[in-house]
A = this chain, B = another copy of it.
Amino acid sequence: MPVRFSITRKCPQTSARIGMLETAHGTILTPAFLPVGTQGTVKAITVGELEDMGTGLILSNCYHLFLRPGIEIIARHGGLHRFMNWNGAILTDSGGFQIFSLGGLRRLDDEGVTFTSHFDGATHFLTPERVTRLQNMLGSDIAMVLDQCPPYPAERKEVRSAVVRTTKWARRCKEAHLHDNQALYAIVQGGVYADLRRESAVELTEMDFDGYAIGGLSVGEPKELMYESLQITVPLLPNDKIHYLMGVGSPDALLKGVRLGIDIFDCVLPTRIARNGRVMTSKGYLPIRNSVYSTDLSPLDEECSCPVCSNYSRAYIRHLLNTGEILGLRLTTQHNLYYLDRLMKEIRKAISENRFEEYYREVSPQLTKMYGGVA
């Protein structure tokens, strides 16, 4: 069955909306946050734990899997779902961001990109067609076009060149795409330049993709600039198609993004900071490794009812992290994902009950205060 996105309710005062994303691997309620499973696993977590949490959609990365273990062996398992034993939905990123940010870029032109693997130095050549075919082989529910993602800051000239190339490549991805059950989403570029964002959005909208992502944000630019770019870009996307903000996961940014019309987000933030001992709570970040928690019998977050907070104390989790115990990484990761999942649930509930604007006015200042620093 083809992937289908539909809007179930719109906020009358803002651009927020709730929707349903139907895939061959289940239905996801939006707005939703996608845990990141770059290498075919959401770090430290089992697929069973994701399922128990109610996660419906995760992100994995075609570029990384292409390098290790290779797409061929995954295809021989019957695709990425079977490889990783995950029965929910998967969105694969093409790797555009990684190719351009992880170094090793050798040659770049309209034909494709030649780069060296940051693992073993081997040289690879990827084209929009190849990246599309590789994602077909992975069998993810949603594939992304190969895009050119410029860094921040970048000269306008470079950003425009990336917009032009991204449009050309998007067209070629669409032509190469052959998979009934897999959607293909385009990625709007343009940096922080309003007119370039407009150019990219208009050109990609004309090609009638299944969904639209906004790339090239949360790459080091000030948050205000990101929100400005969103405010310009989202209205230019087809309203009835899904809107995906890539690489954003800070709670304050999630809420602001929803208000501006974003349906799905992905980010390594909750899982990465968890492994570094930074826990998300109803009172902001908790640096759990700090000695002040060594005798704290309370849960990570008093307002959280996740399995971690229901069963373990701060003192225990701190002990685990400070003694290098793997269980510590599992527990903090699990909690942070539950935290974001609960946030998204609350957001959906507010929209569904026609009180999103009220919810936003109450909660956004708190989240901005607690999380509004650098993402």
CB–CB B316/A84 < 8 A: yes
Number of copies: 2
CB–CB A77/B327 < 8 A: no
Residue in contact with A85 in the complex, picked from B77, B83, B84, B312, CB distance below 8 Å: B312
Residue of B nearest to A311 (CB): B85
Residue in contact with A326 in the complex, picked from B44, B84, B297, B323, CB distance below 8 Å: B44
A residues 23-63 in Cβ contact with B at 8 Å: 39-41, 43-46
A313 interfacial by beta-carbon distance below 8 Å: yes
CB–CB B73/A323 < 8 A: no
CB–CB B330/A46 < 8 A: yes
Interface size classification for chain A: 20 to 34
Report the Cα distance A127→B330, complex, angstroms: 36
A123 interfacial by beta-carbon distance below 8 Å: no
CB–CB B73/A315 < 8 A: yes
Report the Cα distance A39→B323, complex, angstroms: 8
Residue of B nearest to A49 (CB): B46
Residue in contact with A319 in the complex, picked from B46, B69, B311, B315, CB distance below 8 Å: B69
A residues 309-331 in Cβ contact with B at 8 Å: 311-313, 315-316, 318-320, 322-323, 325-327, 329-330
Which residues on the B side are within 8 Å of A40 (C-beta)? 316, 319-320
CB–CB A69/B327 < 8 A: no
A76 interfacial by beta-carbon distance below 8 Å: yes
CB–CB B320/A41 < 8 A: yes
Given known contacts A69-B294, A294-B69, A330-B46, is B323 in contact with A77 (CB within 8 Å)?
no
Given known contacts A68-B319, A77-B297, is B326 in contact with A326 (CB within 8 Å)?
yes
Report the Cα distance A77→B69, complex, angstroms: 44
Report the Cα distance A39→B327, complex, angstroms: 11
Which residues on the B side are within 8 Å of A323 (C-beta)? 39, 68
CB–CB A325/B69 < 8 A: no
Given known contacts A313-B83, A319-B40, is B326 in contact with A329 (CB within 8 Å)?
yes
Listed A/B pairs (23) with beta-carbon separation below 8 Å:
A39-B319, A39-B323, A40-B319, A40-B320, A41-B325, A41-B327, A43-B325, A43-B326, A44-B327, A46-B330, A68-B323, A69-B318, A69-B322, A76-B295, A77-B297, A77-B313, A83-B313, A83-B315, A83-B316, A85-B311, A85-B316, A326-B326, A330-B330
Chain A residues in the interface with B (C-beta under 8 A): 39-41, 43-46, 68-69, 73, 76-77, 83-85, 294-295, 297, 311-313, 315-316, 318-320, 322-323, 325-327, 329-330
Q: Apart from A69-B294, A77-B297, A77-B316, what 6 extra A-B contacts exist at CB < 8 Å?
A: A40-B316, A40-B320, A43-B326, A44-B326, A69-B315, A85-B312
